[in-house]
Amino acid sequence: MRSPFENQSPTDAFASSWVTRETAAAAVAAAESMLRLGEVEVLDPAPHAWGSRRLWRVQSNTRRLVAKFWSGRQVRRLRAEAMLAASAASEASPIVAPAAAIGWGEGPPKTLLHSRSHYLENDPDVWRACTHAASFYRLLGGAHASGADAHALGRALAQLHQVFRHTTLPVGPRWPALCQASLPNPQPGAPIIVAQQRIRQRAKELAAMPTTVVHGDARYDNAIRVDRGVIVLIDLEFCRRDSSLFDLASLVAPTRTTDGNFQMATAAELAQATQGYESIAGDLSRACWALLPTVVLAHYAIVAMDLRTRPTENLHVLQLVSDLLEQIDDLIADVRRLVV
């Protein structure tokens, strides 16, 4: 019988059809023997807003886990997550990092991460040789965050930025590539073009901002309320070193409606999140407040670029960018008045 690991080609950033139950079971079996996760059974794909099959629930003899599957360029993002796991020993860390990871390309699977034994594959060539990978996470109890948790989520983001402020990652700011991007079929005055122009105008100020590790996709769906006032961050696939403002920017539209549209937060909700953030990180400077509207546009323009191969999702983000061009300056001004 052919191994599920053979002859798999890298897929685009959001494809998940290659993750079959056979593939998931083979990855779990490899992890069970190589990483000593215990006796593990594959259950079923975890619910996902876009119907992705990249997340699977599995049960070990001691705990429930989530297995996540990676292909092509995604493996580079897993490496960044694994580096966080290797430096997440502090009890103050507010994240769920991978407990283990394996990768494969030509040949049998290789261990990429085993956090319990403090092993992290440090050779970039080994990571580059992996066309596919699987990572394993503890499954948290609790519920996804909501607007009522805005203050606690702001605190969790500030803790993330402080705990990992000196952590080196292979991924850096993404807005410079956005400034240089040649957008397909550009139309003069199109919202994404106008947003790109605004970002270019503030490029020097953005480049001067200090960087830290940011979550990169800090929506309510990626935060779990494990206790009253306590939030844990999950799904750090888009973590990178960048300005901390990008995580505050992602809270401007932290939820999606049932039809897929992005729902903007109220000024009061954003003010709560900002106050939670400032309770740990200190007050935002005048320069930060001045740059925040541009960072919000940059964040969602980057999301739109990432979703170019998914027309429906891309359309939703482009509509959000259009709305933000009209509303973001006033919204951030209202938030600042409420905070100050």
Report how many domains make up the chain.
2
Closest Cα to residue 204, out of 177, 231, 176? Answer: 176
Task: Enumerate the H helices of 164-209 as residue ranges.
Answer: 175-180, 191-201, 203-208
Domain termination residue (choose one: 119, 139, 159): 139
Query: Looking at the domain assignment, is residue 30 inside a domain?
Result: yes
Output the six-digit token pair for 268: 């009061």
Mean pLDDT within 319-324: 96
The model's pTM:
0.91
Query: Looking at the domain assignment, is residue 10 inside a domain?
Result: no
Per residue in 51-82, pLDDT tens? Answer: 678 999 988 777 788 999 999 989 999 999 99
The answer on 253 and 127 residing in a single domain is no
Say if CB 227 and CB 149 are below 8 A apart: no
Mean pLDDT within 331-339: 98
The answer on 181 and 125 residing in a single domain is no
Mean pLDDT within 85-107: 85
Say if CB 280 and CB 274 are below 8 A apart: no
Per residue in 240-255, pLDDT tens? Answer: 999 999 999 999 999 9
The C-alpha angle 241, 246, 252, rounded to 5 degrees, equals 155
CATH of the domain at 76: 3.30.200.20
Query: Looking at the domain assignment, is residue 2 inside a domain?
Result: no
* Distances in whole angstroms, Cα of residue 31 to Cα of each of 35, 68, 76, 128: 5, 12, 20, 20
User: Please, is 7 exposed, middle or buried when counting C-beta atoms within 10 Å of its C-beta (0-12, 13-18, 19+)?
Assistant: exposed
- Which three-class secondary structure state does DSSP give residue 272? helix
- Domain span including residue 202: 144-339
Lowest-pLDDT range, 32-41, 110-119, 311-320?
32-41
Domain termination residue (choose one: 75, 105, 139): 139
pLDDT the model gives residue 204: 96
Query: Looking at the domain assignment, is residue 69 inside a domain?
Result: yes
Domain termination residue (choose one: 123, 139, 155): 139
- Rounded distance between C-alpha atoms, residue 91 and residue 304, angstroms: 35
CATH of the domain at 197: 3.90.1200.10
Per residue in 221-279, pLDDT tens? Answer: 999 999 888 899 999 999 999 999 999 999 999 998 878 889 999 999 999 999 999 99
- Rounded distance between C-alpha atoms, residue 116 and residue 99, angstroms: 7
